Amino acid sequence: MTGNNLFAQEQRTRLWRNGRMATLDPAKPGLGIVEKGAIVIENGRISYAGPESELPVSIIERAEITDLEGRWVTPGLVDCHTHIVHGGNRAQEFEMRLEGATYEEIARAGGGIVSSVKATNALSVEGLVQASLPRLDTLLSEGVTTIEVKSGYGLSIAGELKMLEAARGLGSARPVRVRTSYLGAHATPPEYKGRNTDYITDIVLPALDEAHEKGLVDAVDGFCEGIAFSTEEIGYVFDRAEALGLPVKLHAEQLSNLGGAELAADYGALSADHLEYLDDTGVAAMAAAGTVAVLLPGAFYAINETQKPPVKALRAAGVPIAIATDCNPGTSPLTSLLLTMNMSATLFGLTVEECIAGATREGARALGLLDETGTIEAGKSADLAIWDIESPAELVYRIGFNPLFARVFKGERIDR
C-alpha cells in the first residue's frame, strides 16, 4: 500500500445505514433507540450517530456505504470483570462442591485460588496468552470489544507481573481493548498463611510499584472477604494505589459483609463487585461516591449462593449497575456475556434494559472508559455489535444462542 493509499485509507469515511440502533445514549430514554439510523465512522471513531434522515448530504456523497438491512446495532459489549488469564482449571473442585463441600471450606483447606496459582505460575507469559486466547475468542465471538483482565493468580512479584504482561499480550494478539486490574490482594500464598500484613508488605505493594512503573496497571482491585483480606488490609493496598494515582475497584460482600463496598466508596472506587451481602449503608456510600455496582451472576450460580444482591435498593439509590462474566476457574468458569445477561435477568431480576446497559455503557463506566466506549455516540470509538435479532430483548432472553452478525472494533469490521 503506497503512502497515498495509506493516507486515503485512514481518511476513508464509512457510512453504515438502515440500522436499528440501541445507542445506550444516557441522554435518551431506555436503550436510546433510533429506528432508521445511520452511523458515520472516520479514523476509527463515530463522527455521526442518529436518524438517517438527518445525515448531511455531503457525507452520503463521499462515504463508503454499507446497508445494515435493518439489523440491530448495539455498542460493542464490555466485559468489565474477568480473571480470564490463568492456568489450569478447577473441575476437580467442582466435583467436590457437587459432593457437598462449600467454596469457603475448599479455600480454607488450601484449595481454591491457591490451587490455580500453581497452574498459573507454571506457565510463561506466552503460555498464559495461549491458554487464555480460547476464552477470549469465545467472548469476542459474542460481540465483546472491551475486556477487563485481573492478575491475582501469581501471588508473587514475578507471578503477578507475568499475568499483567499476558493480559497486555491479549490486547496485542486480538482486536480488543484490554484494561488490566492488579489483584495481588486476591489470596495469601501458603508461605504467608496467617500473615496477611507481611504478604502485603513483602509482595503485594512492591509488585504493584513495579507493575505500575512498567505501565502494566490500569486499576487496583482486592478481595475483601473473611477468606481473603480485611478492610484494614485492603486499605494498605488502596493507600498505595492512591499514592500512585491509580483508580481502585473491589470484590466486596460476596460471601459476607465486611463493609468492603463502603471502603471502596470511601476511596472513590470505580466499582464494587459481587455485592450479594451488600447492606443499605454500603448502597448509600456507593451512591454518594458514584461507584458502579458490578453484579456477577455466574459466581452466584456456580457456587450455589442463595443471598441475592439488593437490586431494588441499588435502583432506588441510583447506583449504576454493570454485569460481567467474572470468568475465572473457581467460582465462575463462564465465557458468555450473553448468558450473563440472561442470568442477570432470571436470577437477579434485572430488566432487559438494565442487562444490555450493564454489558455496555455501565461496564464502560465501571472501567472509567465512558468517554471512549460503551455507547453509540459521536466522538467515541467505533465499537459496535451488529445482531440478527428482531428485538433487543432477544439478547437477554435466549440461553446459549449467539445471534451476532458482525463485530466492529475501532471502526474495523470483524466477522464472526
Site for Fe ion, rule CB under 5 A: 326
- The values of phi and psi at residue 307, to 5°, are -80, 120
Alpha-carbon gap, residue 102 to 111, rounded angstroms: 11
User: How many chain residues bind ligand DI6 (CB under 6 A)?
Assistant: 13
**Which span sits near ligand DI6 by CB under 6 A: 4-12, 25-33, 328-336, 345-353?**
328-336
Q: Taking CB positions, which residue lies at the least distance from Fe ion?
A: 326
Q: Which does 113 bind (CB under 5 to 8 A by kind): ligand DI6, Fe ion, none?
A: ligand DI6
Alpha-carbon gap, residue 324 to 330, rounded angstroms: 15
Contact 216, 180 (CB under 8 A): yes
Does 113 bind ligand DI6 (CB under 6 A)? Our answer is yes
Is 50 or 329 the residue whose CB approaches ligand DI6 more closely?
329
Q: Taking CB positions, which residue lies at the least distance from ligand DI6?
A: 330
Alpha-carbon gap, residue 329 to 113, rounded angstroms: 9
Closest contact distance (angstroms) between CB of 44 and ligand DI6 is 34
Query: Who contacts 383 (Cβ-Cβ below 8 Å, separation ≥6)?
Result: 75, 76, 145, 146, 177, 373, 408, 409, 410
Counting other chains too, the contacts that 42-45 makes at CB distance below 8 Å and 24 or more residues apart are 42/11, 42/12, 42/13, 42/14, 42/411, 43/10, 43/11, 43/411, 44/381, 44/382, 44/410, 44/411, 44/412, 45/379, 45/380, 45/381, 45/382, 45/410, 45/411
Is 252 or 396 the residue whose CB approaches Fe ion more closely?
252
Contact 147, 82 (CB under 8 A): yes
Is 200 or 385 the residue whose CB approaches ligand DI6 more closely?
200
Is 79 or 326 the residue whose CB approaches Fe ion more closely?
326
Binding-site member from 159, 330, 333, 374 for ligand DI6 (CB under 6 A): 330
Residue 13 is inside which H or E element, if any? strand 13-22
**Which span sits near ligand DI6 by CB under 6 A: 9-17, 210-218, 322-330, 342-350?**
322-330
Tell me which residue has cell 507471578: 159
Is 14 or 249 the residue whose CB approaches ligand DI6 more closely?
249
Residues 200-259 that bind ligand DI6 (CB under 6 A): 223, 251, 254
DSSP letter (8 states) at residue 138: H
Site string for ligand DI6, 278-317 (x = CB under 6 A): ---------------------x------------------
Contact 334, 260 (CB under 8 A): no
Binding-site member from 13, 74, 82, 116 for ligand DI6 (CB under 6 A): 116
Closest Cα partner for 47 from 377, 384, 364? 377
Query: Who contacts 262 (Cβ-Cβ below 8 Å, separation ≥6)?
Result: 281, 282, 285
Q: Which does 329 bind (CB under 5 to 8 A by kind): Fe ion, ligand DI6, none?
A: ligand DI6
Alpha-carbon gap, residue 21 to 415, rounded angstroms: 19
Is 248 or 376 the residue whose CB approaches Fe ion more closely?
248
Is 275 or 289 the residue whose CB approaches ligand DI6 more closely?
275
Binding-site member from 82, 181, 328, 375 for ligand DI6 (CB under 6 A): 328
Closest contact distance (angstroms) between CB of 48 and ligand DI6 is 42
Closest contact distance (angstroms) between CB of 372 and ligand DI6 is 26
Is 247 or 329 the residue whose CB approaches ligand DI6 more closely?
329
Alpha-carbon gap, residue 342 to 345, rounded angstroms: 5
Residues that bind ligand DI6 (CB under 6 A): 112-113, 116, 186, 223, 251, 254, 299, 326, 328-331
